[in-house]
Amino acid sequence: MNKRVLILCTGNSCRSIIAEALINARLEGVTADSSGVRASGRVNPNARKLLEEKGIWREEYHSKVIDTVIDNEYDLIVTVCDHAKETCPMFPKAVKTIHVGFEDPDGKGYEAFEATYKEIEEILLPEVKRALG
């Protein structure tokens, strides 16, 4: 299986970056990108610290706008926040889209990032596998 997934949220600084890293690290044969409908332009320091501690941080992870990935071909688009779900753009080619929402840890303590990581690992990864099945 060689599938491509796009994780989409609003700011592309926490949830979508964590999901991108987890998919790339844990799902064999699946490559993930992430983007924001209104990208913040930065990765939240707590998200980066957590991914570094888990050993799955890559220097290429960064906050990017949807325009940088809109022409890529994806097998699945996953929105991880309600705003992204409501404003998800139409992609040039028809692509399956699912929504698995998570609370935004931005502005909260490090424990909130750990909780979000655990939720994404336990909830999102199986959903992505099922959707690509």
* pLDDT tens profile 27-55: 999 999 999 888 889 999 999 999 999 99
The answer to which of 13-22, 38-47, 80-89 has the lowest mean pLDDT is 80-89
Q: Supply the pLDDT for residue 86.
A: 75
Model-level pTM?
A: 0.93
- Catalytic residue among 8, 9, 76, 120, which? 9
Domain count, the chain: 1
Rg (CA), the chain: 13
- Catalytic residue among 7, 22, 32, 81, which? 81
Q: Which domain holds residue 114?
A: 3-132
CA 29 – CA 9 distance, rounded (Å): 23
CA 63 – CA 14 distance, rounded (Å): 9
Q: Check whether 10 has a pLDDT greater than 80.
A: yes
- If one counts every other C-beta atom within 10 angstroms of the C-beta of residue 90, the result is 8
pLDDT bin (cut points 50, 70, 90) of residue 84 is low
Q: Is 81 a catalytic residue?
A: yes
Q: Is 14 a catalytic residue?
A: no
Q: Domain containing 116 — which CATH number?
A: 3.40.50.2300
CA 58 – CA 45 distance, rounded (Å): 14
- Catalytic residue among 88, 98, 112, 132, which? 88
